[in-house]
Structure 1
Amino acid sequence: MNKRQTVLIVIVIAIGIVLGGLILTWEKAAVPETTHGSHGKADSPHAPHDDHDDHDEAHSSSHAHKYSETGNAPTADKNTERGPGKGPKGGKLFTTDGFGVEITIFEKGVPPQLRLYLYENGKPLPPAAARVTVTLSRLGAPAQVFNFKPEAGYLLGDQVVEEPHSFDMAIAAEHKGRTFRWGYNQIEARVEMPDEVLKSIGVEIRTAGPVTIRPTLKLPGEIVFDEHTIVQVVPRLPGIVTAVYRHHGQHVKKGEVLAVIESQILAEMRAQFLAARKRFGLARVTFEREKQLWEEKISAKQDYLAAQQALTEAEIASDLALAKLRTLGVPPEAIHQRGDLARYEIRAPNPGLITAKAIAQGQTLKEDTAIFTIADVSTVWAQVTVYAKDLEVLRLGEKAVIRSTAIDVEGAGVISFISALIGVQTRSATARVVLDNKDGHWLPGMFVTAELVTEEIEVPVAVSVDAIQTLHDWSVVFGRYGQYFEARPLKLGRSDGRMVEVLNGFSAGEQYAAGNSFAIKAELGKAGASHDH
C-alpha cells in the first residue's frame, strides 16, 4: 500500500507540473508582445488612435477627444466584458468565445489603411479563415463600408481611412458558420459649441458651395513719374540770373515765376517791338491822311497806294516783333511795358513738382540750359516687374490693383504698356499701370505690389480663406454638425485670397465655421486634443 500511494503521489505531482506549464504558456500568449502607441512607429500598425488608451480617464469628459468602447456580442470572455484589449500587433483586440479580431490602422509610407489580424484561442489564424466587414460612421457623411482581402498574414481594407479618425466602428466577422459582432467609437478634433457661444466669440457659420475664383498674380513694382508729363525748363534767352524763387522739391502752378534774368537780347527785341509799333501807328496816320486826300481828288492815287503799302509793312513788322516776344513766354501785360526792357521772367510751363534744379543767382545762362525739371504728379506710373513665366497671362487694358508695401495706400488702374524686351541682368520685362494721383498719396520711389486678375474660374466647392486653420499639419475647416464642430482636412486648389477651391474633404452644402474660426481651434487646445501621427 505504501508503494502504491507513492506512485499516485508522483503521478499527481507530474500532472500538476504539466498543467502549470500549460497555464503559464496560455497567459504568455494572451499578453501582447509589443505595444505601439503611435502611428509613427516603424513596422508597427496600430488600432485607430490607440495611443490614447492610457488617457481615456483623463479625457472622458472632453468633447475634443474621448473614447467609448463596447463589446456588443454577449459572451463570458473577460476581454469582451471589459471592452477590447490591446492585441499582439498593438491594435484593438475583440474576442468572443475564443475567436478574436485585432484591428489596426497602418499608415507608414502609405495612406491610412485598415489591417486586421485573426486569432483563435490566442493563436494566429490565416487571413482567409474568416470573412470580415467594417463599417465606419462619421458626422455629416454616409457610412463607409470596408471589405477585406487576404494579404501576407493579415486582411487589408479596400479603402483609405480618411482623417480625422473620428467615427463609430461596427465590425462583423463570419467564422466557422458563426457571425461575431463588435463595435466601438472614438472622437477626435471635435468640440461642442452652442449658438450663444458662437455669437459671443464672433464665429460665423457659412455654407460651402460653387463660386467664381479669380486667381491673382502678385508682382513687385515701384511708383515712378509719368514720363509724358515731365518737362525741361530752359531760359530761351541768354542772360544773367537776378533772382530764383522756386527750388527742388516744391510744387508749382502753371505760369508761376520760377526765376528772373536780365537779357540784353530781350531788351533789343522789346525795343524793336516798341519801334515797330510806333512806326505802325505813324503809318496808319499817314495812310488815313493820304486816303482822304485821294478821295477828295487833292492828291494822286499813287501817293495813296504808297501809304497803304507802308502801313502794311509796318503792321507786319509789328506783328513779327510781337510774335518773337510771345514765343519767349513774355506775358502780354509785360510786352507793352516801357520799364526794365531787359527783365525776363522764367515761368512754369505746367503745374507739377520740381524734380531738378540747375540755376543760381548771378549765374550766366545760355538759352538752351536746362535749369528746372518739372513733373506733373497728378498721374503717376506703377512700374511693375514681370517675370518671363508670367508674360503670357498679361494683357494690355487689364485691370490691376496697386498696394503700397509700406503704408496703407491702394489704387486701381489698367496696364497701358508691356515691354517687348527682357532685361539681360534681371531676366524680366516691365509693365506700366497708370494711376490717378490727384490726392497726392502716391510718391515716386514708393515700393508697391501689383495684383492682377489673370482669369475667372467657376469651381463647384469653395470655402472662405479665413476659415482655413492648421491642425496636426492639416489644412482644415471646422464643419458644423448640430451642436458639434469637427475638423475636416482639405485638399485645396486655386485661391483668389478671398475664397479657396476645395478639391477633396468637404462637400457643397456643408456648413463650416468662418470669421473667428481660430477660437474653435483654441477650444480644442483647451480640451487637450491630441493626434500622434
Structure 2
Amino acid sequence: MKNVLLCFALVGLGLVVGTFVPSVSAPVRQLAGILLPPPPASNHGHGHSHGHGDGHEDDEAPEGHVVLTAEQIESAKIAVEEVSAGTLTRKISVPGTVTTDADRVARIAGRVVGTVAEMRKRLGETVTRGEVVAVLDSREVAEARSEFFAARTNLELQQTLFEREQALWDKRISAEQQYLRARQTFTEAQLRIELASQKLQALGFSEADVAELARRFGPVQTVSAAPDAPLRRTVSRLSGLQKYEIRSPITGRVIERRVDLGAPIGGESEEKELYVVADLSSVWIDLSVPSGDLALIREGQEVAISAGNGSEPSHGKIVFVSPILNQETRSARVIAAVDNKDMAWRPGSYVTAQVLVSEEPVDMKVPRSALQAIGGEQVVFVRNEKGFEKREVVLGKGDDVSVEIVFGLDPGEKIAAANSFVLKAELGKAEAEHVH
C-alpha cells in the first residue's frame, strides 16, 4: 500500500514539475505521459502548414495543391499564361557565315588614266551616294573636254552661218550650192558635238555633267572694247579641264582604300580601284545546307540567326537557293538576307541559322517550360484561388519551344508557364511533411 501511495506521489510531482519547468528530464515527462492522455492539438503548435509564411498556417492544402499568395508568385518569378490554340513549327539548324550583300558593295574606280590629286575619304568614314570621294588629274579628260568645247564652239558658228545662208537663199540672193554647203557643214558640226558628248559619258560623265560643262565652257558672246578680252575670258574658263571628280555610287562606309595621294592609276599594271564602299545595313548569311535537307528549303522562308553568345537572334529571309551541289561536301549554297541596321553582324562571323520549314496549327499548346515530370507522369500547374494545383496531361506533337496538349486542360485555363520547377519543389516538400 505504501508503494502505491509513493508511486502516485511521484506521478503528481512529475506533472507539477513538467508544467512549470519545461526543462524537466525526459523520463519524468514520459512517465506522466503514460498515465495521462495527450493534450489536445493546438492550432498554434507544430501542425503542417502549406502557406509558407503567408499568415494562413491553419489552411491545410489538399493533396496536389501548392498554396501561394500573389506576392510569393511574383517573388518566385512564376510566369502565368493562358492556355490557347497556337502553331507548332519545325526548324532545321544550319551553320553559316556573315558576308556583305553583293548588291550593296561598290568598287569605286577611275575610268581614265591619271594621277590621284585628292583623296577625300579615310578608311571607315561614311559616304553618301553622289558624294565626291576623290579627284584625279587626267590628260585624257582634258582632251575630251577640250574636244567637246571646240565642237560646241564650232556648232554655234556653223549654226549662225547656216541661218544666214538660209535667209539669203530664201530671198534668192545667194546661190543654192552655197546654201547646201552651209547646211552640210552645220550638220557635221551637230554630229561632232554629239560624238564629243558620248565620249565624255563613256568616261563617266552624266548627261547633267555634260550640260553643266556646256553651260560653263560655252563661247563668250560679250563684246568688249579690248580685242583680246573674249579670248582671255574663254581661256580662264578652260582652266581645270584635267580635273576628274570620282563620286560614290552608293551610301555606305569605306571598307578599303586602295591607293595613296599622287599614285598613278588606270594604266597598265597600275591600280584601277580607289575605294571599296559597303552598305552594311543589310548583310547576307551564306549557309551550307546538306543535300538531305534541300527538299525542305525554298526561297522566301524565314530564318533566325544567332551567334551562340546568348544575344537575341535576328530574323531574315532566304533569297537564293543554289541549284548546284558542292561535289566535295554534297551541300548547296543558300543565302539569307538579314537586316543589320544596328551593325550587330560583322562580315566574316560564324553564325547558326534556324530555318523554318513547316507550321502546324493545334487546338491547345503550352511552353515546354510549363511541363514537369512527377511520378512518371507529365504535369502542369494550374492557377487557382489559393495558388496552383497539379494537373496530369496527355501530350501530342511538339516543337523546340512548345508542345500540344491532347487531354488534361481546357482552353482559357491559366498555368505556370515559367519557373514551374519552383512549384514542383514546393509540392515535394509539402508531401514530405505529410509523410512525417
Return the TM-score normalized by structure 1: 0.56
Give the match for residue 105 of structure 1.
none
1:344 Cα shift?
1.4
* Residue 403 of structure 2 corresponds to residue 500 of structure 1: yes
Give the distance between the partners of 1:384 and 1:393, measured in 2 at CA.
14
**Relative contact order higher in (CA < 8 Å, ≥ 6 apart):** 2
Q: Secondary structure at the match of 1:269?
A: helix
1:374 Cα shift?
2.7
Give the distance between the partners of 2:384 and 2:249, measured in 1 at CA.
70
Distance 1:259 1:518, change over 3 A: same
Give the match for residue 486 of structure 1.
390
Give the match for residue 387 of structure 1.
290
Q: Which amino acid aligns with 1:478?
A: F
Are 2:316 and 2:336, in contact at CA under 8 Å, matched by a contact in 1?
yes
Are 1:260 and 1:345, in contact at CA under 8 Å, matched by a contact in 2?
yes
Segment drifting more, 418-427 vs 249-258: 418-427
Give the match for residue 61 of structure 1.
48
* Residue 185 of structure 2 corresponds to residue 318 of structure 1: no
Select the residue among 123, 128, 131 that pairs with 1:256: 131
1:313 Cα shift?
0.7
Alpha-carbon deviations, 1:32-88, whole Å to 9, x = none? xxxxxxxxxxxxxxxxxxxxxxxxxxx983769xxxxxxxxxxxxxxxxxxxxxxxx
Q: Secondary structure at the match of 1:419?
A: strand
* Residue 243 of structure 2 corresponds to residue 343 of structure 1: yes
Q: Which amino acid aligns with 2:398?
A: R
Q: For 1:197-276, what aligned pairs fall within 5 Å after superposition?
A: 197-198=72-73, 201-203=76-78, 211-276=86-151
Are 1:402 and 1:449, in contact at CA under 8 Å, matched by a contact in 2?
yes
1:279 Cα shift?
1.2
* Residue 269 of structure 2 corresponds to residue 369 of structure 1: no
Select the residue among 181, 184, 187 that pairs with 1:306: 181
RMSD of the alignment, in Å?
A: 3.7
Return the TM-score normalized by structure 2: 0.67
The structure with the largest helix share of the pair is 2
Distance 1:459 1:415, change over 3 A: same
1:310 Cα shift?
0.6
Give the distance between the partners of 1:299 and 1:253, measured in 2 at CA.
59
Are 1:224 and 1:380, in contact at CA under 8 Å, matched by a contact in 2?
yes
Select the residue among 53, 63, 67 that pairs with 1:193: 67
Give the match for residue 518 of structure 1.
421
Q: Which amino acid aligns with 1:294?
A: W
1:253 Cα shift?
1.5
Segment drifting more, 462-471 vs 227-236: 462-471
1:447 Cα shift?
4.1
Distance 1:338 1:451, change over 3 A: same
1:264 Cα shift?
1.5
Are 2:107 and 2:275, in contact at CA under 8 Å, matched by a contact in 1?
yes
Give the match for residue 301 of structure 2.
398
Alpha-carbon deviations, 1:221-258, whole Å to 9, x = none? 33321213333322111112222122333332222222
Are 1:191 and 1:520, in contact at CA under 8 Å, matched by a contact in 2?
no
Q: Secondary structure at the match of 1:456?
A: strand
Distance 1:235 1:411, change over 3 A: same
Give the distance between the partners of 2:302 and 2:273, measured in 1 at CA.
37
Distance 1:393 1:286, change over 3 A: same
Distance 1:355 1:481, change over 3 A: closer
Q: Secondary structure at the match of 1:290?
A: helix
Q: For 1:78-157, what aligned pairs fall within 5 Å after superposition?
A: none
Distance 1:440 1:307, change over 3 A: farther
Give the distance between the partners of 1:475 and 1:248, measured in 2 at CA.
59
Give the match for residue 119 of structure 1.
none
Q: Which amino acid aligns with 2:255?
A: T
1:460 Cα shift?
5.6
Q: Which amino acid aligns with 1:349?
A: P
Give the distance between the partners of 1:424 and 1:384, measured in 2 at CA.
16
Distance 1:473 1:427, change over 3 A: farther
Alpha-carbon deviations, 1:286-335, whole Å to 9, x = none? 11221222222221111111111111111211121122112222434356
Give the match for residue 445 of structure 1.
348
Q: Which amino acid aligns with 1:366?
A: G
Give the distance between the partners of 1:392 and 1:60, measured in 2 at CA.
64
Are 1:205 and 1:514, in contact at CA under 8 Å, matched by a contact in 2?
yes
1:366 Cα shift?
1.8
1:356 Cα shift?
2.8
1:384 Cα shift?
2.6
Give the match for residue 413 of structure 1.
316
In structure 2, runs of 5+ residues without a counterpart are 1-45, 52-60, 218-236
Q: Which amino acid aligns with 1:303?
A: Q
1:342 Cα shift?
1.6
Q: Which amino acid aligns with 1:286?
A: L
1:365 Cα shift?
1.3
Give the distance between the partners of 1:239 and 1:437, measured in 2 at CA.
37
Q: Secondary structure at the match of 1:284?
A: helix
Give the distance between the partners of 1:261 and 1:206, measured in 2 at CA.
67
Give the distance between the partners of 1:274 and 1:437, measured in 2 at CA.
47
Are 1:226 and 1:377, in contact at CA under 8 Å, matched by a contact in 2?
yes
Give the distance between the partners of 1:219 and 1:245, measured in 2 at CA.
42
Q: Which amino acid aligns with 1:217?
A: I
1:502 Cα shift?
4.7
Distance 1:409 1:192, change over 3 A: closer
Give the distance between the partners of 2:415 and 2:129, measured in 1 at CA.
60
Are 1:406 and 1:447, in contact at CA under 8 Å, matched by a contact in 2?
no
Give the match for residue 258 of structure 2.
358
The structure with the largest strand share of the pair is 1
Give the distance between the partners of 2:409 and 2:84, measured in 1 at CA.
4
Alpha-carbon deviations, 1:358-414, whole Å to 9, x = none? 211221112582333333334322223323332222122223344454585654433
1:348 Cα shift?
1.5
Q: Secondary structure at the match of 1:454?
A: strand
Give the match for residue 35 of structure 2.
none
Are 1:469 and 1:477, in contact at CA under 8 Å, matched by a contact in 2?
yes
Q: For 1:23-62, what aligned pairs fall within 5 Å after superposition?
A: 61=48
Q: Secondary structure at the match of 1:215?
A: strand
